[in-house]
Amino acid sequence: MKNVIILGADGYLGWPMAMKFACENYRVTVVDNYLKRKIVADTDSTALIEGPRLKERSEIFQSLFNFNIEVNEGDCADANFMDPLIERLQPDAVVHFAEQPSAPYSMMGRSEATTTFNNNLNSTFNLIWSIVKYSPNTHIIKLGTMGEYGTPNIDIEEGWIDIEHNGRTQKFLYPRQASSLYHTTKILDTDLLWFYARHYNLRVTDLMQGPVYGIFTDESRADDRLLPNFHYDDIFGTVVNRFICQAVAGIPLTVFGAGGQTRGYLNIEDTMKCIALAASNPPKNGELLIYNQFTEQFSVNQLAMKVRRACELLNIPVEMQNIPNPRVEQENHYYNAKHTGLSDLGLVPKLMDSDVICEIMSKVVVKKDEISRKRALPRVQWKTS
Ligand SMILES: NC(=O)c1ccc[n+]([C@@H]2O[C@H](COP(=O)([O-])OP(=O)(O)OC[C@H]3O[C@@H](n4cnc5c(N)ncnc54)[C@H](O)[C@@H]3O)[C@@H](O)[C@H]2O)c1
């Protein structure tokens, strides 16, 4: 039986991933320190759908699926917590979700930036050292982000680029220039992972993931109490989830600036498939594998139109509103990112069509009255004078 640890398993992606691995007959151990729930309370960013804490969720899961998930509460940045866990379990793989993932939160001010910086860098750094010391053959599967690359005026390669200079060539990490402190911590993580993979022969996969949308996976469809925590707010909500909630609540879809910002997106079910594929295809010792983890690219305007079209099928009228962009980012730019690595491993994507959007809406609509206009609008400006 393969043995996996999921770090950050109380989160949007970590919990469904834990259930998926358990159902695929992995021995699953999960970890969280509930940092996200604390930030949610501090920033008044209540989830629209919020599951119970991990102990209770794993009991519900076991009663329905008859698979055990071992729960540990602790901080991945704490060596006294991580060392004994890794030494005891000798995992085949560790999936590392345990970071502060909100770009707006990381741009709120010095204190929030410090929390993001310290938490994200130290959780990755500490995991690396626990693996080096106690289980050096473990495959580290790290969640990075497509935001590491920024929006360069050239094609985005899958992690690496061959550079020719003065007649000589060398393969380097693709140049990265992020547009938030959060995304910059992910760049620094990648550098740490690549340094230690080379230095200590570690096996690492770094997944450059685009914004995820959706709520349903095979397991969460079984019982509402197994749904992942679902946010639409400006701090933790991703854009598609937010647009769907705005549409249901009769709030105009808030397109930041010109709306030409283009990114690669994927359904939460595809996140599960991608990580399972990464786990089944580990790198060699000393190798850092990088995949661009998204399935289709859209501009913000195109996303808003997609949500509007799906709503028309349900006779829900939807307005779109261009509002001043709270972020500092290009609003019209070239974007062409490769993403063939995971398809080559067998990923068959679930693409964003009206049926997919309407299925998410079916869950949101029953909570329509709980959607707050204030939380759905941007509260954080990238630059304040
Ligand atoms: N959701 C997306 O669209 C998306 C896109 C690209 C990349 N990612 C990355 O995927 C990962 C998971 O994203 P998510 O949306 O599930 O985030 P999330 O905030 O919902 O989940 C992260 C979990 O990690 C926990 N955590 C944070 N620091 C911790 C620590 N030091 N010790 C223990 N637990 C800790 C949090 O409490 C939270 O439950 C993140 O690293 C994020 O940067 C997410």
**Centre of ligand 1 from the C-alpha of residue 98, in Å:** 5
145: annotated active-site residue: yes
Judged against a pLDDT cut of 90, whether residue 384 lies above it is answered with: no
Give nearest CA residue, ligand 1 atom 15. Answer: 12
Out of 12, 105, 182, 232, the active site residue is 182
Mutation test residue for ligand 1: of 13, 50, 124, 146, the one with most atoms within 8 Å of CB: 13
CATH label, 3-376, candidates 3.40.50.720, 1.20.1050.140, 3.30.420.40, 2.60.40.10:
3.40.50.720
Query: For tokens 């695929």, what's the residue?
Result: 24
Residues in the chain: 385
Q: What is the pLDDT of residues 106-147, one digit of tens each?
A: 999 999 999 999 999 999 999 999 999 999 999 999 999 999
Bridge partner list, 27 = 3
Give nearest CA residue, ligand 1 atom 41. Answer: 97
* Nearest by Cα to 57 from 39, 73, 75, 74: 73
Q: What is the pLDDT of residues 317-375, one digit of tens each?
A: 999 999 999 999 999 999 999 999 999 999 999 999 999 999 999 999 999 999 999 99
Q: What is the pLDDT of residues 202-225, one digit of tens each?
A: 999 999 999 999 999 999 999 999
Per-residue pLDDT, 366? 96
- Helix, strand, coil content of the chain in percent (nearest 5): 40, 20, 40
Ligand 1 — pocket residues by CB below 6 A? 8, 10-14, 31-36, 75-77, 97-101, 119, 123, 143, 145, 209, 211-212, 238
Pairing mode of beta strands 320-323, 288-293: unpaired
Q: What is the pLDDT of residues 219-272, one digit of tens each?
A: 999 999 999 999 999 999 999 999 999 999 999 999 999 999 999 999 999 999
Per-residue pLDDT, 385? 59
**Measured at the alpha carbon of residue 335, what is the angle toward residues 252 and 171, in degrees to the nearest 5?**
145
* H or E element that contains 111: helix 110-134
* Nearest by Cα to 325 from 253, 256, 267, 262: 256
CA distance 31 to 193: 20
**Measured at the alpha carbon of residue 306, what is the angle toward residues 343 and 48, in degrees to the nearest 5?**
90
Instruction: Give me the DSSP letters along 163-207.
Output: EEETTEEEEEEPP---SSHHHHHHHHHHHHHHHHHHHH--EEEEE
In a 3-state reduction of DSSP, which class is residue 100?
coil
